[in-house]
Structure 1
């Protein structure tokens, strides 16, 4: 069972209200309806998001060698996702690579394709690693979906998750500082 941060906060608020004898009040979160984001932030980090920022030509980018799944679930990919300077989707460039041996099914991990990653980074020119605000998108390449899908958890809250692989999932407040893996 998946417990989101929002659900945990709501449960804690209800428990605290019960302890204080305020059982008639709804949690504050209930007054604010969840809305799917038009934009979300991707912030570079040292975990699953080493390459996010602005390319020399002003486009926003996200580069990963941890994409996996697709045909038969056993493929790995290096993917460069590009948005125009205003954050609207531009293009995705994908290369299928060998899945690392010993990496458990359903787990993200570097594909060991550093030469390809370096080549994709070189295509960006002088780039800056920095948080980017972009729109979600899905694009099919050779029958495999790539991008950032918008979805909804059972509790009604929205998320934006990477595909293929579903190993980065952002949630409100969409600031890119926290994500589920």
Structure 2
């Protein structure tokens, strides 16, 4: 079967990937308010250097996942956090980006783009919450939720 990806493409869309692109400083970014563990919702701003290597992650724990069953993705109820994080990017461009997968623990919770293998097939899952999974050909055009 295929090999673990060294890079994947993330393409912004109107579904689960509304904010992906290039920040004013040239760094690549992905912003989501759909990150979660069983108890908490998160807004996560994932940042890569302009060459696509991991740079940093900025995480804000939020409440407001009312009405969602445990383990289901959905907006975190962070109406004020998302615009604030977008403002940190300066003048940004929504566009496809090519970046390396990574994970990093923040306060005991794993965040990032985790490479996993099942029955010989690789996937890259956004953590926490595993709410998006990308597969070969790693072009970002299709993902599972």
Q: TM-score, normalised by structure 2?
A: 0.98
Match of 2:128 in 1: 164
The CA deviation at 1:74 is 1.0
Tell whether the 8 Å contact from 1:74 to 1:99 is kept in structure 2 after alignment: no
The CA deviation at 1:151 is 0.4
**Which of structures 1 and 2 has the larger relative contact order (alpha carbons within 8 angstroms, sep 6+)?**
2
SS of equivalent to 1:118: helix
The CA deviation at 1:171 is 0.3
- CA–CA distance in 1 between the matches of 2:125 and 2:61? 20
Question: Which of 78, 92, 97 is equivalent to 1:127?
Answer: 92
The structure number with the bigger radius of gyration is 1
Name structure 2 gaps, 5 residues minimum: none
- CA–CA distance in 2 between the matches of 1:112 and 1:106? 16
Q: Which moved more, 1:105-114 or 1:130-139?
A: 105-114
The CA deviation at 1:111 is 1.1
1:97-128, Cα deviation, whole Å (9 max, x unpaired):
00421111111001121211000000000000
- CA–CA distance in 2 between the matches of 1:111 and 1:147? 17
Question: Which of 15, 39, 58 is equivalent to 1:74?
Answer: 39
- CA–CA distance in 1 between the matches of 2:21 and 2:77? 22
Name structure 1 gaps, 5 residues minimum: 1-32
Runs (4+) of structure 1 exceeding 6 A deviation are none
Question: Which of 56, 60, 65 is equivalent to 2:28?
Answer: 60
